[in-house]
């Protein structure tokens, strides 16, 4: 039997669980709506606004009608049950409406009306549940007050605390546990089931007992007191959410603009409210003058908020110190996450603690003054209505016009002025003179905070969460800084004239500017190639689109091609477009060419609204760990984008391999390959990929016209590319070579509803993981691409430019130097031989007196093996044939059997003779005790490759099973060997 006292505590616990599910909904709705609205900042703003707006309406409605009902707990149970039912159907309804909007509605709407439709539909999707969530607090609070004799202030404070603490936990559990385990549909389904169970449990508790109203309303609704406190609650909510939006932007610079960072900030904000409510519960029923206390708290809250401006600079130092102390391990990542939460609390807690006290105090004041049960609902409604205004003021006025510091001071000023107004109007024993003096003091504090404190922009642009350095190079010059609607954009010039444009401190593009620039930046290589490579693949491109402005260079170079008739550059943040002007005149075409059209819009909405089709779409978003960016790497995005390609059109996807582990990269490629059957992957340097995706297979050879185009050829030469060989040196393979390897990874395709990338990319960034093994596998000593894709190499001689930023290109250049040394031909450059190569050339080129000398035999084989490593993957077939001819001239008649076998294997690999490759490699491997471990692994891979080329998969499996444990044991198997295994398994 549950006693009355136990029932009281049980209901408080139930309400904490209700808060837990409520913030799961808010968190998951943000994920869902950013799929529809296109950016996390817009989704967060809309969810906050509609969530709070719906709750305001619900609270207002419940407050106005609660005195007509005799069992409010039953109504509460009904509300929880309906919320749960909405949750059960939310995902299928959302998915249907999303497809319906993009396929049937947005194509027929003008862009302005398209935005109206998106925001209206997004509001309708979450408004009913938000309305019902808003009814829960007044219904449960008044129902509990009717049934129990505890102090009114204690009950309201305790319920406010329990609901808020549940919410603070809910947002963390949702983001860090549930979405990763069961995806967005499973997470919202979990919350729905909990709601339904809560409804059934409260129904059983409430059905047997009637309630007796204890607070009949005696104070007229038009009386000044309730109007004053309703307005005070409104302004408090407004100021609090100006703080929240500003803090989110501020702390994104310290923690990174990832989804998990947002969840940490939201949890810290709500936790502060909960702790404030918890503290006031012991004092609220014994306060002599709650109005004076409420006024004082408002003033203190405003001052605390203003103090976060100077304190904010120290968070960079703290984060830098923490990163220097932590290991880049999973345990280090755990403590890094905890540190992020601690930083959020350091900034937010004093202010939100005060904010958490105001709601119970305002409610207590109205209940004491006979405003009745409606006090709770109306105060709650006014507070949440103010929150909506705060969100929109911060996003659309405060940040763009006032900046971070100005927005914080605006919120602080609202709270301080409100506190003094309450003192002046309602507190009788405080003289107006003292109020005026104190108000002037506070005004002076605000003025000093605005004039004397400064948020150091060198800290804001430091990207401390990535670099561990709290201050950007002070020797640099900040050319541009703006707090945009979705992100903070900066442009800086370093001492070497490298100009970097960054989003929330994360560099997105860089170009070395100046009149006498000799070396390009690393980003320039990728941006130039992202434009030139598709033009070399299909010179007939007419209609093109580029997703992401960046520096503007990719769009600029595309417009240098005379065949381009129209280019749409789609960028969601207007400040990025303004910032990129600092790259003029290097990107002049984007701003001046009549064929160029810049659209401030998210990509999904742009393509749905305009319904254009293109020959080429280039997608170059920011890193996948940035919140909202990962939506441009999902199966749903690729499904939609292919509808906007003309027959024969291609999608070029720029994807970073640094700060991204291989399995996450494969999740993206899986999502892409699921929608595009054919793809080719190129590495622009050792850190970036370009994935060329098409719906139809094509064997069209690359066209060299981009090198003869005056402007594009000049840009290509500037980044070290002068011929098609420089493209081919960066080729990593297609679906035939890499398709089976992609499927080897036990990871699902990245999806909007199962956002693997969004949830895991930040951890990958912190741990410093990368997927460079995909770039570097081509440097294995076997000529994989040449043998698996015959006909790809068509040149007579290797002429690849040296590139310190690309391993294969650099080694190809060195291979050409070795070839020149062997054959005595002149080189185009005076580059010296690679380390150790001079001795190798001498030993292999000079016949000894006794070719059967056992010591010389091993030396000769070791050097032949070294020659294979340095030449097989890099030289053209004709050059390899020349080398073999030279080697055969040198005492071939006196070679040992082993020497001959190694030379035969080298020749077979050069000529692509699969049968000889397999036979010879197996024979040499049989005498494996004679060879070094690296040589045995080379023979093992060669035997596998030969069997694959002959389609002798049973033989390949036998070779694998026989040697894999002996050769690798407990050490990790290289990517290229796993690639060969995947080709065997896919047969």
pLDDT tens, 369-379?
Answer: 767 667 777 88
Per-residue pLDDT at 733: 92
Q: Which of the listed ranges 330-334, 398-402, 826-830 does the model predict with the highest average pLDDT?
A: 330-334
Q: Which two tokens stand for residue 971?
A: 């050490």
Contact 745, 665 (CB under 8 A): no
Given its phi and psi angles, is residue 447 left (phi above 0), alpha (psi -120 to 50 degrees) or beta? alpha
Cα–Cα distance between 269 and 349 in angstroms, integer? 7
Per-residue pLDDT at 451: 64
Q: What is the DSSP string of 179-200?
A: HHHHHHHHHHHHHHHHHHHHHH
Residue 196 main-chain phi, psi, to 5 deg: -65, -40
Cα–Cα distance between 366 and 358 in angstroms, integer? 12
CA–centroid distance for 90 within its chain: 25
- Quick check: 65 pLDDT over 70? yes
Q: Which two tokens stand for residue 738?
A: 């890499």
Q: State the DSSP H helix or E strand holding residue 858, giving kind and residue range, or none if neither.
A: helix 854-871
Cα–Cα distance between 862 and 902 in angstroms, integer? 10
Neighbours of 311 (CB within 10 A): 14
Q: 3-state secondary structure string, 6-33?
A: HHHHHHHHHHHHHHHHHHHHHHHHHHHH
Cα–Cα distance between 619 and 645 in angstroms, integer? 13
Q: Which two tokens stand for residue 386?
A: 């103010």
Cα–Cα distance between 71 and 550 in angstroms, integer? 59
pLDDT interval class at 5 (50, 70, 90)? low
Angle between the 224-255 and 403-426 helix axes, to the nearest 10 degrees?
A: 160
Contact 434, 427 (CB under 8 A): no
Order of strands, sheet of 498-503, starting from the edge strand that comes earlier in the sequence: 477-483, 488-493, 498-503, 506-512
- Quick check: 85 pLDDT over 90? yes
Contact 115, 616 (CB under 8 A): no
- Quick check: 223 pLDDT over 70? no
Quote the DSSP letter at residue 223: S
In this structure, of 145-154, 351-360, 592-601, 903-912, the range with the lowest mean pLDDT score is: 145-154
pLDDT tens, 26-48?
Answer: 888 877 877 776 554 555 566 66
pLDDT interval class at 598 (50, 70, 90)? very high
Q: 3-state secondary structure string, 781-810?
A: CCCHHHHHCCCCCCCCCCCCCCCCCCHHHH
> Strand, helix or coil at 503?
strand
State how far the alpha carbon of 778 is from the alpha carbons of 433, 871, 974, in Å: 80, 12, 12
Strand partners, 617: 545, 651
Residue 754 main-chain phi, psi, to 5 deg: -130, 75
Per-residue pLDDT at 829: 59
Quote the DSSP letter at residue 971: S
In this structure, of 44-53, 302-311, 345-354, the range with the lowest mean pLDDT score is: 44-53
Give the global pTM: 0.88
What's the chain's average pLDDT? 85
Strand partners, 733: 681
Per-residue pLDDT at 437: 66
- Provide the percentage of residues in the chain whose pLDDT is more than 90: 38
Contact 689, 681 (CB under 8 A): yes
pLDDT interval class at 1 (50, 70, 90)? very low
Cα–Cα distance between 164 and 265 in angstroms, integer? 14
pLDDT tens, 205-215?
Answer: 777 666 666 55
Angle between the 662-675 and 735-744 helix axes, to the nearest 10 degrees?
A: 120
């Amino acid at each position: 039997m549950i006693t009355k006292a136990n029932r009281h505590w049980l209901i408080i616990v139930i309400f904490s669980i209700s808060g837990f599910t409520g913030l799961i909904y808010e968190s998951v709705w943000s994920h869902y709506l950013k799929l529809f609205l296109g950016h996390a900042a817009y989704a967060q703003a809309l969810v906050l606004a509609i969530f709070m707006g719906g709750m305001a309406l619900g609270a207002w409605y419940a407050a106005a009608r609660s005195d007509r009902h005799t069992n409010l707990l039953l109504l509460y149970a009904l509300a929880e049950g309906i919320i749960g039912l909405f949750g059960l159907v939310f995902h299928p309804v959302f998915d249907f409406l999303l497809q319906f909007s993009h396929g049937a509605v947005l194509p027929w709407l003008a862009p302005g009306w398209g935005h109206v439709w998106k925001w209206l539909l997004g509001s309708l999707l979450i408004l009913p549940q938000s309305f019902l969530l808003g009814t829960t607090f007044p219904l449960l609070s008044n129902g509990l007050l009717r049934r129990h004799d505890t102090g009114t202030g204690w009950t309201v404070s305790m319920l406010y605390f329990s609901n808020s603490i549940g919410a603070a936990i809910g947002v963390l559990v949702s983001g860090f546990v549930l979405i990763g385990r069961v995806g967005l549909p499973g997470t919202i389904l979990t919350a729905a089931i909990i709601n339904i169970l809560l409804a059934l449990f409260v129904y059983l508790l409430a059905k047997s007992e009637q309630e007796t109203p204890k607070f009949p309303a005696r104070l007229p609704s038009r009386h000044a007191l309730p109007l004053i406190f309703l307005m005070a609650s409104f302004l408090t909510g407004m100021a609090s959410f100006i703080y929240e939006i500003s803090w989110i932007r501020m702390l994104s610079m310290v923690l990174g603009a990832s989804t998990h960072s947002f969840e940490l900030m939201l949890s810290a904000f709500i936790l502060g409210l909960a702790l404030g409510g918890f503290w006031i519960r012991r004092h609220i029923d014994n306060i002599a003058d709650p109005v004076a206390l409420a006024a004082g708290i408002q003033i203190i809250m405003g001052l605390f908020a203003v103090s976060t401006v100077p304190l904010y600079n120290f968070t960079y130092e703290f984060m830098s110190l923490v990163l220097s102390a932590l290991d880049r391990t999973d345990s280090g990542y755990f403590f890094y996450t905890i540190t992020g939460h601690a930083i959020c609390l350091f900034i937010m807690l004093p202010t939100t603690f005060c904010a958490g006290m105001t709601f119970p105090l305002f409610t207590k004041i109205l209940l004491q003054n006979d405003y009745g049960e409606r006090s709770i609902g109306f105060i709650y409604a006014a507070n949440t209505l103010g929150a909506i205004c705060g969100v929109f003021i911060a996003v659309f006025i405060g940040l763009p016009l006032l900046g971070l510091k100005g927005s914080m001071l605006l919120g602080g000023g609202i709270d301080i002025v409100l506190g003094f107004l309450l003192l002046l109007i309602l507190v009788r024993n405080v003289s107006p003179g003292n109020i005026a003096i104190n108000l002037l003091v506070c005004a002076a504090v605000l003025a000093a905070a605005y004039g004397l404190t400064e948020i150091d922009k060198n800290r804001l642009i430091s990207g401390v969460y990535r670099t561990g350095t709290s201050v950007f190079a002070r020797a640099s010059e900040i050319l541009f800084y703006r707090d945009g609607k979705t992100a903070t954009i900066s442009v800086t010039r370093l001492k070497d004239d490298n100009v970097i444009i960054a989003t929330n401190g994360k560099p997105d593009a860089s170009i070395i500017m100046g009149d006498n620039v000799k070396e390009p930046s690393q980003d320039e290589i990728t941006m130039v190639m992202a434009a030139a490579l598709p033009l070399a693949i299909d010179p007939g491109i007419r209609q093109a689109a580029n997703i992401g402005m960046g520096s503007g260079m990719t769009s600029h170079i595309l417009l240098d091609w005379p065949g381009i008739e129209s280019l749409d550059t789609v960028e969601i943040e207007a400040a990025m477009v303004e910032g990129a002007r600092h790259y003029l005149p290097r990107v002049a075409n984007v701003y001046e060419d009549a064929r160029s059209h810049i659209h401030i819009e998210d990509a999904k909405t742009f393509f749905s609204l305009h319904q254009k089709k293109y020959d080429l779409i280039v997608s170059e978003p920011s890193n996948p760990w940035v919140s909202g960016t990962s939506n441009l790497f999902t199966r749903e995005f690729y499904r939609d984008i292919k509808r906007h390609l003309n027959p024969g059109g291609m999608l070029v996807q720029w994807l970073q391999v640094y700060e991204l582990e291989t399995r996450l990269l494969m999740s993206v490629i899986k999502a892409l390959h699921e929608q595009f059957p054919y793809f080719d992957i190129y590495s622009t340097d050792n850190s970036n990929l370009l994935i060329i995706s098409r719906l139809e297979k094509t064997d069209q050879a690359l066209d060299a016209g981009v090198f003869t185009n005056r402007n594009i050829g000049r840009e290509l030469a500037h980044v070290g590319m002068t011929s098609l060989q420089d493209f081919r040196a960066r080729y990593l393979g297609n679906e035939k070579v890499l398709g089976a390897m992609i499927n080897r990874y036990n990871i699902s395709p990245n999806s909007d509803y199962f956002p693997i990338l969004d949830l895991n990319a930040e951890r990958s960034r912190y741990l410093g993981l990368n997927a460079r093994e995909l770039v570097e596998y081509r440097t294995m000593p076997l000529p994989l691409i040449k043998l698996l894709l015959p006909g790809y190499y068509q040149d007579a001689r290797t002429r690849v430019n040296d590139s310190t930023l690309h391993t294969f290109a650099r080694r190809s250049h060195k291979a050409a130097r070795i070839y020149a040394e062997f054959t005595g031909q002149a080189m185009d450059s005076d580059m010296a031989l690679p380390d150790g190569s001079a001795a190798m050339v001498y030993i292999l080129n000079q016949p000894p007196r006794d070719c059967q000398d056992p010591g010389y035999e091993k030396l000769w084989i070791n050097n032949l093996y070294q020659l294979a490593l340095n030449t097989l993957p890099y030289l053209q077939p004709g050059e390899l044939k020349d080398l073999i001819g030279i080697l055969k001239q040198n005492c071939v008649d006196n070679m040992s059997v082993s020497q001959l076998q190694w030379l035969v294997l080298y020749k077979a690999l050069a000529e692509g003779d699969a049968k000889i490759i397999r036979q010879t490699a197996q024979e040499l491997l049989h005498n494996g005790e004679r060879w070094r471990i690296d040589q045995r692994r080379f023979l093992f891979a060669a035997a596998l490759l030969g069997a694959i080329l002959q389609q002798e998969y049973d033989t390949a499996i036998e070779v694998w099973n026989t040697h894999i444990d002996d050769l690798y044991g407990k050490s990790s198997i290289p990517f290229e060997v796993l690639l060969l295994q995947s080709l065997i398994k896919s047969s």
